[in-house]
Each structure stands twice: as C-alpha cells, then as structure tokens.
C-alpha cells in the first residue's frame, strides 16, 4: 500500500499546478525569508535566465556563513552485502557483483590510510542490515573510526533510536540517510524488494537519529528518480521540520545525481549540470546556514566551479569500492562511478588556487563526557 505523506511533509500547498513565471522568480529572489514556494519558483524553467544572479547570491550567502573554506571528508565503503532491490544501485542484491565486507583489521588499515591522506572526517557506508554487516559490525567499525577521526558519519540502513544512541555513544557524530525520492508511488516502484521498501520507516529514521543525540543528519534525494520540484520541496520541508523539532542537531544536504552510466539503469528523468547547479543555488538561498555537500560523482571542472558557490563541503580522493584506499586492486565494483579522480593534494591545490581554504577539522569532540577510548 502506498503510504500517505504526513502533513508536515506534504508539498502540495506550494505546488498549485501553476507554472511559475519570471515575475515569480524575481519575487522569490527578493523575498526576505524564502520558503517552499520560492524554492519551487527558483527551480522552474522560468528561473533559468536567473542562473547568474542565483549563483552570485549563493556565493555571497555561502561566504557569509562558511567563509572562504571548504570542509573535506572521505567515504569508506565497509561492505556491499545487500538484500535490497533498488533498481538504480550498483550494489542491489540482483547485481552480479563480488560481495564482501572489510574485516576489522582491514578497516584499521583503510582508516590509517585515510588519516595519512589528511582526512579528519570519515563517512562509513554499508548496504542493508545483513548477517555479514549488521548493527554490531557497524558499531565496532564506528568505535575504531572514532579512535582516529574527529568526525565519524555513517550511511547505512534505518535504525532504532536505541541503536542510534549506541552509535552516538561510540563516537558517531553524523547519520546520512537519503530518502532517494519522497514520491511514495515512485519510491514503491524503484525499491523492488527488501526492508528498504518501507517508505515511512526510512522517512522517520533521521528524526530518530536526532532524538538519539546525533550531532548532524544528512538528507538528500537521488536526483533523476522522480519529479525534481516535488522532491526538492519535500526535502526542504523535511529539513525544516527536523530543524524545528530537534533544534540541537544540525542538518546537511547532499546532491547525488543519478548518472546515465550508473549500473544498467536508465534514469527516468535527466538532470543536467545546469539544473543541478540551479538546484544547489536555490537550496543555498532558501537555507543559508546549512552545509551543502557535493561528491566525486561530478566531473572536476563542475566541482571546481561549485566549490563555494553554495557548496561548502566536499569529498575528495574517494573510492566507492569496498575498501580501496590501501592501494591494492579493489575486489568489488563501485557503487557509482567516480568522475573526479584527483588525489587530495591536487584537489586542495585547486581549492587554494580559487581562494578557498581546505578544512579537515572544524570541531572537536574534546568535551564529550566519559569518553572511553575516544580519539586523542
């Protein structure tokens, strides 16, 4: 059964079917406190001529809030075991793909490599909860990472509040969980089997993570799966809802774009760079103080240009295979194709040449209570 959108999420009051005009876009850009309606206007075709204006606004707001800096992080895929049937994912359970997980000794090695590369923040990724890589495994990996890194995020499966609290206690500071698409019917079609079919369980998981005391929660939609404006307005509503209720936690937003070549799946909707860029600008204008992330899915020239233009946090030197930082030939394929293959020094040099400071660590957990074996 297709779930009903909860009232706090429902975007329909702002999507009245009337196509926004240039006048609506100008209004949105002049608005003191832009919200869902303004976001929808800035994402409409009528806003395309305003690209440059939006870019300038996005840069000014980003600079005002984040200064001339870009925060850096690295993803570490722990496991590609999965029981879900997400049609768009390279790790879906029906994909012919060697499956493995990193054993604790390998995790230690990979973490050491990332530390060597200069990273202070790591994002640990797994697939669905399985006997190979379940909660206890993830908890162990988080504890290992927390001994070395000041920021440890996870991007895994939805969990209970209790589980999130245990992770937070072990030193996990962030949970990333994309809804992929907020359109329940499209969600139902794209997630063919597995626990991930439960739309509402996933929808409420970020709130549970915040309730458990997680410092930040990362939200996002996979661009290309469904109607972009619908998903964008839902994403904004979701973020605003969480910010309002769980006011001690922070939000970050990511902009993963489904590339035509990812897996063998043809994206239902084509999202080109110009649209992606305008999405980032519009979100920055509507949410001036939220970190916006861009991964290595995008090509170098685009990433270089977007750094500081709304985007305030980026991954670099990433591997999307299980492991892969230790220099050995990766034993699995990647979840998605990395387009920006530059190493960390090269990427940092680029940022500096554009007047941006690469930042690896912008907060510390030294005040954490009763820290058992925390990093030091």
Q: How far is CA 344 from CA 141, 323, 351, 357, in A?
A: 23, 17, 11, 13
- In whole angstroms, give the CA distance from residue 260 to residue 277: 17
Of positions 7, 16, 105, 244, contacts another protein by CB under 8 A: 244
Token output for 289: 């103080």
Neighbour count for residue 204 (Cβ, 10 Å): 14
- Measured from the CB of residue 76, what is the shortest distance to another protein in angstroms? 29
- 66, with CB counted inside 10 A (0-12, 13-18, 19+), is buried
Token output for 320: 């999307």
Of positions 3, 268, 305, 330, contacts another protein by CB under 8 A: 305
Q: Which stretch binds another protein (CB under 8 A): 242-250, 259-267, 322-330, 336-344?
A: 242-250
Contacts with another protein, 248-277, as mask; x by CB under 8 A: ------------------------xxxx-x
Q: What is the 3-state secondary structure (H, E, C) of 105-174?
A: HHHHHHHHHHHHCCCCEEEEECCCCCCCCCHHHHHHHHHHHHHHCCEEEEECCCCCHHHHHHHHHCCCCE
- The residues in 49-68 that bind another protein, with binding defined as CB under 8 A, are 49-53, 55-56, 59
Contacts with another protein, 102-131, as mask; x by CB under 8 A: ------------------------------
Q: Are the C-beta atoms of 152 and 146 separated by less than 8 Å? A: yes
151 Rama class: left (phi>0) / alpha (psi -120 to 50) / beta: beta
Of positions 27, 95, 109, 115, contacts another protein by CB under 8 A: 27
18 binds another protein (CB under 8 A): no
Closer residue to another protein in complex, CB, 39/277: 277
Closer residue to another protein in complex, CB, 296/335: 296
Closer residue to another protein in complex, CB, 243/362: 243
Binding site for another protein (CB under 8 A): 25-33, 45, 48-53, 55-56, 59, 243-244, 247, 272-275, 277-278, 301-302, 304-305, 309
């Amino acid at each position: 059964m297709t779930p009903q959108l909860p009232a706090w999420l429902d975007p329909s009051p702002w999507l009245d079917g009337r196509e926004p005009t240039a006048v609506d876009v100008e209004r949105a850009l002049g608005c003191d406190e832009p919200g869902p309606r303004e976001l929808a206007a800035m994402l409409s075709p009528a806003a395309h001529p305003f690209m440059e204006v939006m870019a300038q606004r996005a840069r000014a707001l980003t600079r005002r809030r984040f200064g001339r800096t870009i925060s850096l992080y690295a993803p570490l895929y722990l496991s590609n075991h999965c029981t879900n049937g997400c049609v768009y994912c390279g790790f879906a359970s029906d994909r012919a793909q060697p499956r493995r997980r990193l054993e604790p000794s390998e995790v230690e090695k990979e973490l050491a490599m990332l530390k060597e590369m200069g990273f202070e923040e790591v994002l640990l990724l797994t697939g669905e909860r399985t006997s190979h890589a379940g909660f206890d495994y993830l908890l162990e990996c988080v504890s290992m990472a927390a001994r070395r890194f000041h920021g440890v995020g996870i991007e895994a499966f939805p969990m209970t509040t209790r589980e999130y609290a245990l992770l937070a206690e072990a030193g996990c500071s962030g949970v990333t969980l994309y809804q992929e698409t907020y359109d329940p019917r499209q969600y139902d079609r794209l997630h063919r089997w597995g626990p991930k079919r439960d739309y509402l369980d996933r929808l409420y998981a970020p709130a549970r993570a915040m309730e458990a005391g997680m410092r930040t929660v990362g939200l996002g939609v996979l661009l290309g799966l469904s109607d972009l404006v619908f998903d964008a307005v839902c994403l904004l509503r979701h973020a605003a809802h969480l910010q309002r209720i769980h006011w001690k936690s922070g939000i970050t937003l990511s902009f993963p774009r489904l590339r035509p070549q990812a897996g063998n799946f043809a994206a239902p909707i084509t999202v080109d760079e110009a649209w992606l860029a305008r999405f980032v600008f519009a979100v920055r204008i509507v949410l001036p103080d939220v970190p916006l992330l861009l991964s290595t899915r995008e090509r170098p020239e685009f990433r270089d240009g977007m750094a500081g233009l709304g985007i305030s946090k980026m991954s670099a030197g990433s591997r999307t295979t299980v492991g892969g930082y230790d220099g050995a030939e990766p034993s699995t394929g990647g979840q998605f194709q990395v387009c920006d293959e530059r190493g960390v020094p090269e990427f940092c040099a680029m940022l500096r040449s554009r007047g941006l400071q690469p930042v690896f660590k912008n907060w510390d957990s030294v005040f954490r209570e009763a820290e058992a074996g925390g990093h030091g």
